[in-house]
Amino acid sequence: MHILVTGSKGQLGSEIQKISKNYTDYKFTYTDIDELDITSKKDVNKFVSDNNFDIIINCAAYTAVDKCETEKNASRKVNVIAVKNLAMACADNNISFIHISTDYVYDGKNHIPYKESDFTNPESYYGQTKLEGEQVIDEYSIKAVIIRTSWLYSSFGNNFVKTIIKHATAKDELNVVYDQIGTPTYAGDLATIILDNIKELELLEGINLYNFSNEGVCSWYDFAKEIVSLKNIKCNIYPIETKDYPLPAPRPAYSILNKDKIKTQLNTSIPYWKDSLKKCLKEL
């Protein structure tokens, strides 16, 4: 099986590269913007037609949530146009497609964990483009899997974990919001779920939507407290409300994902977020 991984230098793409040596039955091709401009329909068509891929895993995304509010053209090109180009190439070449989406497609006003079938209502431009990216896949008769995830972090790239460690090391105290609730997701766990089940995912018919995050629930404040504690950093973390830390893009106040579907259909268990955080911190 020949697998193309786009956005391979990001958090998830890097985690897939790290563990790919354990999957000797598969051949991997990794691309990022330097190797393939997925926002170019012409470049995507040529690259895909010149190679014999069985599956494309799209890890590429414009994830600078606040910049999306002002850099709308750039975010749309990556989060919508590029997805359309890849889906079209999959349709033209009979290739299966795995695409990564986000909890930002929900408005965060639920009081119970979001199921895949729940109403979507993104409140940020980032969430809007990610939802449109999901929707363009529906335009093509392909075998596709869309995975919505939340609060992604890794030993690679820029993320909340690294930001907290950096600032907590330099300062005596930090303020972190406590009224946004969700679940941190270790990109290494998501990468493992995908590659462990890729044969099953590739056999699915039509377009299939799944939620995936680690198990458990916390606030950003709780997450920060755990990071500082595990790293033995002497820094006081104080809880604040979202209104006290205004940002250009609104965040979902509640983005807990119901993962019953992926656990049942793939017959898999998902690690607890604190256990996965410990694993990630050993890599830093």
pLDDT digits (tens, 9 = 90+) for 171-220: 999 999 999 999 999 999 999 999 999 999 988 999 999 999 999 999 99
Structure tokens at 123: 């409140």
How many of the other CB atoms lie within 10 Å of CB of 41? 16
Confidence of residue 85 (pLDDT cuts 50, 70, 90): very high
Question: Catalytic residue at 126?
Answer: yes
Burial class of residue 261, CB neighbours in 10 A (0-12, 13-18, 19+)? middle
**What tokens does 77 get?**
């090109």
Mean pLDDT of the chain, nearest integer: 97
Q: Each residue of 87-99: pLDDT tens digit?
A: 999 999 999 999 9
Residue 202 confidence (pLDDT): 87
The rounded distance, in Å, linking the Cα atoms of 173 and 175 is 7
Catalytic residue among 126, 153, 178, 254: 126
Question: Domain boundaries in the chain?
Answer: 2-158+184-216+255-271
pLDDT in tens, 43-74: 999 999 999 999 999 999 999 999 999 999 99
The phi-psi region of residue 10 (left if phi > 0; otherwise alpha if psi is between -120 and 50; otherwise beta) is beta
CATH number of 2-158+184-216+255-271: 3.40.50.720
Residue 106 and residue 118 in contact, taking contact as beta carbons nearer than 8 Å:
yes
Residue 25 confidence class, pLDDT cut points 50, 70, 90? very high
CB 80 within 8 A of CB 132: yes
Any bridge partners for residue 147, and if so which?
Answer: 100, 210
- State the pTM of this model: 0.97
